[in-house]
Amino acid sequence: MHTIPGRRLIMALFLIFLLLPIYWLVNMSFKTNAEIVSSMTLWPHTPTLQHYKRIFTDESWYSGYINSLEYVVLNTIISISVALPAAYAFSRYRFLGDKHLFFWLLSNRMAPAAVYALPFFNLYSAIGLFDTPWAVALAHCIFNVPLAVWILEGFVSGVPREIDETAFLDGYPFPRFFIKILIPLIASGIGVAAFFCFMFSWVELLLARTLTSVASKPISAIMTRTVSASGMDWGLLAAAGVLTIIPGALVIWFVRNYIARGFALGRV
């Protein structure tokens, strides 16, 4: 792969630009509130873990992380399991309305969450799912299922069709072929799709906040509580922010070799 002159400098500058704001957040999370407000320090002079301790001991804080993870995991499971057969169908067969259906799915990935916030609120209140992880998990399907279908379709198309035909000739019934042969072959694709479902469900706030009130409130909504009568609790806010970055950073590490291909939706 050919690169350009001065690439090391450009890359270094860009990475610094990416990391500096994150560093500042981490830096603040280890400072006392007095230090944050009173002086400008490039690193914590009196490092403290008080903000992290507060989050890990106060149930109203740490339950937010559990709630968020709950609906994210639920959503990922639902999205992948319904998307797998559909991805296979789109990749292998032509059927009535396939192109229109594919475009319709794609268009849902692009629908603004703000449009759906209020109708979702009505819908999930009406069927009694409001303020449960199911409501958020199902609501997030609207953009994650199309994405999963899209990514998986790319990966299924990468599997030679001869493999299907051989399996069917060997007398594999369809479900057994699917589970025993196809799924292991596109395991990395499933990983990538799961990563993206996890990611988009994890970063979304508007729907998650609208569809929950007390019991399933996500961490990102709880973070808005740090404004109190005595002013902003900046240190606590920063610590909560840092803790929301960690799950993402962990999953990136596992899929680092597939990130680029995944972002191209399996179509490179």
Partner 1 sequence: MDKTINQKAWFLVLPVFLVVAFSAVLPLMTVVNYSMQDTFGNNQFFWNGVGWFKELLDPSTDLGGRFLASLGRNLLFSAIILAIEVPLGIVVALSMPRDGWSVAACLVILALPLLIPWNVVGTIWQIFGRPDIGLLGYVLNSIGIDYNYVSNALDAWITVIVMDVWHWTSLVALLCYAGLKSIPEAYYQAAQIDGASRWAVFKAIQLPKMNRVLLIAVLLRFMDSFMIYTEPFVVTGGGPGNSTTFVSIELVKIALGQFDLGKAAALSLVYNLIILIVCWVFYTVMTNAGAERRPVEGGA
* The only residue of 74, 192, 211, 237 in contact with partner 1, by rule CB under 8 A: 237
Residue matched to tokens 């609207």: 142
Q: How far apart are the first and last CA of the chain?
A: 15
For 58, phi and psi rounded to 5 degrees?
-90, 120
Tokens 């958020």 appear where? 136
Does 179 help bind partner 1 (rule: CB under 8 A)? Answer: no
Q: Interaction with partner 1 in 2-61: which residues (CB under 8 A)? A: 2-8, 10-11, 14-15, 17-22, 24-25, 28, 36-37, 40, 42
Among residues 74, 80, 141, 190, the one that binds partner 1 under rule CB under 8 A: 141
Distance of closest approach, residue 82 Cβ to partner 1, in angstroms: 4
Residue 29 to residue 18: CA distance in whole angstroms? 18
Q: Which of 138, 151, 182, 197 binds partner 1 (CB under 8 A)?
A: 138
CA–CA distance, 120 with 209 (Å, rounded to integer): 12
Residues 68-127 touching partner 1, rule: CB under 8 A, are 78, 81-83, 85-86, 88-90, 92-96, 98, 101, 103, 105-120, 122-123
**Which one of 45-53, 55-63, 186-194, 235-243 is the stretch in contact with partner 1 (CB under 8 A)?**
235-243
231 SS3 class: strand
Q: Name which of 257, 265, 131, 129 is nearest 197 in CA terms.
A: 265
Which span sits near partner 1 by CB under 8 A: 47-55, 56-64, 182-190, 236-244? 236-244
Residue 128: Cβ within 10 Å count = 10
